[in-house]
A and B are shown apart, each in its own frame.
Chain A
Amino acid sequence: GAGVSQSPSNKVTEKGKDVELRCDPISGHTALYWYRQSLGQGLEFLIYFQGNSAPDKSGLPSDRFSAERTGGSVSTLTIQRTQQEDSAVYLCASSSFGYEQYFGPGTRLTVT
């Protein structure tokens, strides 16, 4: 079985542009998480989806960040009007019933 996949693996964008990051979770996993890893902040939680429940958006750093999960599977994290402080590695994880989380390889975002 395939693990969690993310695309693109690397993204370089200019300040002010919008970006979309994609996550394909492990098939059958009902929970999906987004985290961000940056040099200054370590690993921090962004947003969580569980089945058809309303997502937990408590970790999103600003209203420029949003995420959706279509059909209970694929998720897209969107960052609007990117800023240099958004540069980080964005990691996606999935799990079954909120237990052991399995991470994807991440998307490295660089905002110039």
Chain B
Amino acid sequence: KQEVTQIPAALSVPEGENLVLNCSFTDSAIYNLQWFRQDPGKGLTSLLLIQSSQREQTSGRLNASLDKSSGRSTLYIAASQPGDSATYLCAVTTDSWGKLQFGAGTQVVVTP
């Protein structure tokens, strides 16, 4: 049974520092991995999607890597800003239907 873990559960950094968020999964037979951001009381915003054949994806200050064999993904956010404060969730797809299995999330606070 696939299990998705995110460590740490919470993280606080001063503005300008780089953020490193970790996601691990127990079954390497995934179709893709997706990173989301969730603001309090809001839905999920898709940040990056990495296909199983890819090693990384980049969008602006965000970079996500994927190592399927070790069951790990890392989300890097460069030069953090207070507006980056949110909960970040990773999710994997383990079948062709695309249903997502989520980690519990990392709550990030960026202090000015």
A residues neighboring B (CB under 8 Å): 4, 31, 33, 35, 42-45, 48, 50, 56, 59, 91, 93, 95, 98-106
Contact = CB atoms under 8 A, between A and B. Distances in A.
Contacts of A42: 102-105
A101 B98 contact: yes
Given A42-B104, A100-B34, A100-B49, A95 B43 contact: no
Nearest to B42: A105
A103 B43 contact: yes
Interface in B82-100: 89, 91, 93, 96-100
Nearest to B96: A98
B65 interface: no
Nearest to B31: A98
A23 B31 CA distance: 26
A50 B95 CA distance: 13
B81 interface: no
Given A98-B93, A102-B46, A103-B44, A48 B101 contact: no
